[in-house]
């Protein structure tokens, strides 16, 4: 298996996202792109990363290749990548090594790094397919501001929809918090085919999902009555990262 990421900035972004998913991640490479799905040990969070083939060049793979790699090892290589580098990847199954070559496209100088991988990957985790009654889109910076307020008040939040408004409500010892969002204030998009709808989620599960978002990026949120909430981010038009978080019961 071989493939190339022609832009070092893309390589760094991919690694940055992977390190925020888990210490060790299973990667599946096909001609359609790269996928990574991780279910947390307590089964409260499912994270799914998809990168389309448009991000890669010179892909050589028979069917699919699946392996596990430590994100710290990838991060150490990404730190060494300069602006002019092209990142080339090659999997040596016999020796269980992922070779990463950083080739300077101006000078031709190549630096090689060998990363150990595991080929013992448990059964692939599937995505969660649900029909969500409520979906909205908002700037990540606006959503992050609400989550920051919620963290001060309590450890869980009730997210609800009614009469064209999304409500966030939390209560703590001697304090309470309530925030509303509606179309254009500041929602970019809002769709609902059911009301009222409400569900409760852990704030400490929601907050980490925002680490992958830049201030200008948009988060697409879908939820329903006592079902996992879905948060989806676009990655430069070349992929997506999606989270499903279990509701509080």
Kindly report, residue by residue over 57-72, the tens digit of the pLDDT: 999 999 899 999 999 9
Task: Please state, in angstroms and rounded to a whole number, the distance separating the CA atoms of residues 110 and 101.
Answer: 6
Strands 45-52 and 2-5, by their bridges, are unpaired
Token code pair at residue 24: 């060790």
Task: Please state, in angstroms and rounded to a whole number, the distance separating the CA atoms of residues 226 and 214.
Answer: 29
Task: Please state, in angstroms and rounded to a whole number, the distance separating the CA atoms of residues 179 and 198.
Answer: 14
Domain 134-245 has CATH 3.70.10.10: yes
Q: What is the pLDDT of residue 215?
A: 57
Question: Is residue 123 predicted with pLDDT exceeding 90?
Answer: no
DSSP string of 221-235?
Answer: EEE-TTS-EEEEEE-
Topology (CATH) of 2-118: DNA Polymerase III; Chain A, domain 2 (3.10.150)
What global pTM score does this model have?
Answer: 0.89
Tell me the CA distances in angstroms from 101 to 77, 87, 98, 110, 247, one per residue in order.
9, 6, 10, 6, 43
Kindly report, residue by residue over 133-144, the tens digit of the pLDDT: 999 999 999 999
Question: Is residue 36 predicted with pLDDT exceeding 90?
Answer: yes
Please report, for the chain, the start and end positions of each structural domain, with discontinuous segments joined by +: 2-118, 134-245
Kindly report, residue by residue over 181-211, the tens digit of the pLDDT: 999 999 999 999 999 999 999 999 999 898 8
Closest CA to 146 of 217, 82, 210, 71: 210
Residue length, the chain? 249
Q: What is the pLDDT of residue 216?
A: 63
């Amino acid at each position: 298996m071989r493939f190339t990421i022609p832009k070092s900035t893309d390589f760094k972004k991919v690694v940055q996202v992977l390190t925020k998913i888990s210490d060790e991640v299973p990667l599946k490479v096909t001609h359609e792109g790269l996928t990574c799905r991780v279910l947390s040990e307590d089964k409260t969070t499912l994270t799914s990363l998809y990168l389309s083939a448009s991000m890669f060049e010179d892909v050589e793979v028979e069917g699919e290749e699946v392996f596990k790699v430590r994100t710290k090892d990838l991060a150490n290589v990404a730190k060494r990548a300069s602006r002019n580098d092209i990142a080339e990847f090659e999997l040596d199954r016999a020796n269980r090594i992922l070779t990463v070559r950083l080739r300077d496209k101006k000078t031709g100088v190549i630096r090689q790094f060998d990363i150990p991988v595991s080929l013992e990957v448990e059964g692939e985790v599937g995505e969660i397919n649900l029909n969500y009654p409520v979906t909205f889109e908002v700037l990540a910076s606006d959503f992050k501001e609400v989550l920051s307020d919620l963290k001060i008040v309590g450890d869980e939040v009730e997210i609800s929809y009614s009469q064209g408004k999304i409500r966030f409500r939390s209560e703590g010892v001697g304090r309470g918090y309530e925030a509303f969002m509606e179309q254009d204030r500041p929602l970019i998009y809002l769709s609902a085919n059911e009301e009222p709808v409400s569900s409760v989620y852990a704030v400490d599960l929601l907050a980490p999902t925002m680490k992958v978002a830049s201030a200008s990026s948009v988060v697409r949120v879908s939820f329903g009555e006592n079902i996992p909430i879905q948060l989806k981010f676009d990655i430069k038009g070349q992929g997506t990262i999606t989270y499903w978080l279990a509701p509080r019961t």
